[in-house]
Amino acid sequence: MRIKLFASSLCIAALLLVAPPVLHAQPTDAQLQSQAQRALGAKRFSDVQVSAHNGTVVLSGTVNNFAEKFEAGNKVKKKDKSATIENQIQVNTPEVPNEKLLKKLREEINNSRIGYGTTAFNAISVSVKGWGVVALSGFAYGPVDASTAFNIAANTKGVTAVNNNIHV
């Protein structure tokens, strides 16, 4: 009896080792679209449309600043980390001359961390190209300094995109 029990247990264990793993089904386009719409339920995303095609979630429409565009993409990605996000949202912001935008961003970023003891260790460069496309580069003392610079740029009127290449 013990031998039969041992043999059957051994067979079951062998089958479990050889059996292919169960694959998780990929969500359908309708499920991806529904998840993305729920993720963007906030009022500030009321002008954002969501569609899904072949496993890719496409975001379109308009928002008030680049920070909202960035947040929309992150919220959708957080709902389904395996989904591909195509963020085509347009930033509805007034056009600001590059020189004026550059001056404002440099001043705000340079003065943002005064009093925290880290300002002297930051070497963040700002440039503006095209229509409100901001490039941040250089080095920040820590992640707070780097994210502060990004948030200032992303929330500034006239900024349509931010390329963040700040190293910590």
Q: Report the sign of the C-alpha dihedral through residues 23, 28, 29, 35, in that order.
A: negative
Which backbone phi and psi does 50 adopt, to 5 degrees? -125, 135
Distance CA 155, CA 63 (A): 11
Tell me what pLDDT residue 41 has.
84
Tell me what pLDDT residue 25 has.
67
Is the pLDDT reported for residue 10 higher than 50? no
**If you average pLDDT over every residue of the chain, what do you get?**
83
Confidence of residue 112 (pLDDT cuts 50, 70, 90): confident
Tell me what pLDDT residue 126 has.
93
Tell me what pLDDT residue 90 has.
93
**Count of residues in the chain:** 168
- Render pLDDT for 22-49 as a digit per residue (tens, 0 to 9): 555 677 878 888 888 888 887 888 899 9
Higher pLDDT, 111 or 20: 111
- Nearest-CA neighbor of 68 among 131, 154, 142? 154
Is the pLDDT reported for residue 8 higher than 60? no
Q: What is the pLDDT averaged over residues 10-24?
A: 53
Q: What is the pLDDT averaged over residues 99-128?
A: 85
Confidence of residue 7 (pLDDT cuts 50, 70, 90): very low
Is the pLDDT reported for residue 9 higher than 80? no
DSSP string, 128-166: EETTTEEEEEEE-SSHHHHHHHHHHHHTSTT--EEEEEE
